Chain A
Amino acid sequence: NAGVTQTPKFQVLKTGQSMTLQCAQDMNHEYMSWYRQDPGMGLRLIHYSVGAGITDQGEVPNGYNVSRSTTEDFPLRLLSAAPSQTSVYFCASSSGGNTIYFGEGSWLTVV
């Protein structure tokens, strides 16, 4: 049981480039979400999903896209990276109203 797996762990992007952060969970959880964490600002919700084919915006969705074609996978796409998107990104999953399991994080730097 791997839990929540995120890749890549570290990434450096140039402004304007696009990329996808991958997230997979093997716990058959319906709920998945993406957070970003910046110093002094805690975890901020970017997008979330309550099941395959269903996604919704969180608090800071601009500049990010998500899709949920399967229960297991919830990739986060940066369409045109900006320096303001330099952050640590966490993918999470849960069975709803219960424990949230987090991945180990993806450190993204946009130069």
Chain B
Amino acid sequence: SQKIEQNSEALNIQEGKTATLTCNYTNYSPAYLQWYRQDPGRGPVFLLLIRENEKEKRKERLKVTFDTTLKQSLFHITASQPADSATYLCALPRASSASKIIFGSGTRLSIRP
């Protein structure tokens, strides 16, 4: 069956360092992958989309990579700040139906001053 796994439930790093979050998937060949940010008590907010023919995508301090051979996406936040503390979710369309978007369970990132 198709699965999405995010590397850990929580990640705690020092301000200024680069945070790296992992999203692995199995039995998929998704056309694209998305990353979302979710703050406590709020709905997820879209950050980045990367397509299968793109190796890397950047937006300000964010960088996403997409390795279709390893079936993995890495999400990097450079020069991290306490305001980056949130839960980050990856999402992919189901192979059986591109209309079904499935989310990983998320990684809770904490940036300490």
Please say whether chains A and B are actual partners in one complex. Answer: yes
Chain A positions within 8 Å of B, measured between CB atoms, are 4, 31, 33, 35, 40-45, 48, 50, 56, 58-59, 90, 92, 94, 96-105
Task: Specify which chain B residues have a CB less than 8 angstroms from the CB of A97 in the assembled complex.
Answer: 31-32, 93, 98
Q: How far is the CA of A35 from the CA of B105 in the complex (A)?
A: 13
Name the distance in Å between A50's Cβ and chain B's nearest Cβ: 5
Compute the total of residue contacts between A and B using a CB distance below 8 Å. 57
User: Beyond A42-B106, A97-B32, is A105–B46 a contact (Cβ under 8 Å)?
Assistant: no
Residue B34 lies at the interface, judged by CB distance under 8 Å to chain A: yes
Report the Cα distance A103→B32, complex, angstroms.
23
A42 touches B49 (CB 8 A): no
Dominant secondary structure at the A interface: strand
CB contact under 8 A between A42 and B100, given known A100-B91, A102-B45: no
Task: Flag whether B109 is at the interface (Cβ < 8 A).
Answer: no
The contact string, 1 if C-beta is below 8 Å from chain A, for chain B 49-91, is 1000000000000000000000000000000000000000101
Cα A103 to Cα B41 with chains together (Å): 11
> Which chain A positions have C-beta within 8 A of B49?
98-99
Chain B contact residues, CB within 8 Å of chain A: 9, 31-32, 34, 36, 41-46, 49, 89, 91, 93, 97-106
Whether the pair A96, B99 counts as a contact (CB closer than 8 A) is yes
Jot down 19 A-B pairs with beta carbons below 8 A, ordered by A.
Answer: A31-B99, A41-B105, A42-B103, A42-B105, A42-B106, A50-B99, A56-B100, A92-B43, A96-B98, A96-B99, A97-B31, A97-B32, A99-B46, A100-B34, A100-B36, A100-B46, A100-B91, A101-B46, A104-B42
Contact A43 B103 (CB under 8 A): yes
Known: A31-B99, A98-B49, A100-B34. A42 touches B43 (CB 8 A): no
Please give the distance in Å from B28's CB to the nearest CB on chain A.
Answer: 15
Q: Which residue of B lies closest to A41 (CB)?
A: B105
Residues of A within 8 A of B93 (CB): 97
Decide if A90 touches B44 in the complex (CB within 8 Å).
yes
CA distance A4 to B45 in the complex (A): 12
Min CB–CB distance B5 → chain A (angstroms): 10
